[in-house]
Amino acid sequence: MEEHKHDHDKETEMIAIMSRSGMRITDQRRTLARIFSDTDAFLSPKDVYDLMRDKYPGVSFDTVYRNLRMLSEMGALEQFYFMEGGLKFKGSCISHHHHHLICLNCEKTLSFEYCPMDQQLKLPGSFKIVSHRFEVYGICDECQQTGEG
């Protein structure tokens, strides 16, 4: 059930972000960019570590963590905390604002354009709105078919 619709633009963009932020482009980071441009799913640090080791048997867990954190901080990755699965990462879609459908089974994501904040929400009190979060969870086509949901 591996995803391999490699998104070359995303890979290039990720490396560009690193460069722009003054990071050095190491082979590990190149591999990270490759991993995240190869999938739309959320990956745990362990997932990433395992994928990295395919190419770099000697890679260390802390380097994976360090890089995941740095890439998140500079916006190349999105973080998400799954109540059951802990913290996971996916390549971020910097290009435009949108929200996600998230498959509870395979954790792949599908983005969509509708944003609730575009409505005239009348919210109580007078909060100064800073950000919002809207996600829809379910079982994707594929997982429904393979009965894995």
Which residue ranges are tagged as binding site for Fe cation? 97, 132
Query: What residues have CB less than 8 Å from 124, skipping those under 6 apart?
Result: none
Orientation angle between helical segments 45-55 and 27-37, nearest 10 degrees? 120
- Site map 29..68 versus a second copy, x via CB under 8 A: ----------------------------------------
Judge contact between 104 and 139, C-beta under 8 A: yes
The entry of a second copy, DNA, none near residue 24 (CB within 5 to 8 angstroms by kind) is DNA
Eight-class DSSP state of 43: B
User: Binding DNA by CB under 7 A: which of 1, 56, 114, 137?
Assistant: 56
Known binding site: residues? 97, 103, 106, 132, 140, 143
- Which candidate, 124, 102, 120, places its Cα nearest to that of 111? 102
Is residue 62 involved in binding DNA (CB under 7 A)? yes
Structure tokens at 71: 């890439």
Q: What is the CA radius of gyration of the chain?
A: 17
Taking the least distance from each CB to DNA, the nearer of 46 and 97 is 46
The entry of DNA, a second copy, none near residue 85 (CB within 5 to 8 angstroms by kind) is none
> Hey, what amino acid is at 63?
T
Site for a second copy in 98-137 (CB under 8 A): 101, 103-104, 110-112, 114, 116-117, 119, 121-137
Angstrom distance (rounded) from CA 61 to CA 68: 11
Structure tokens at 14: 């990720």
Is residue 95 involved in binding a second copy (CB under 8 A)? no
Is residue 24 involved in binding DNA (CB under 7 A)? yes
Residues that bind a second copy (CB under 8 A): 79, 81, 83, 101, 103-104, 110-112, 114, 116-117, 119, 121-141, 144, 149
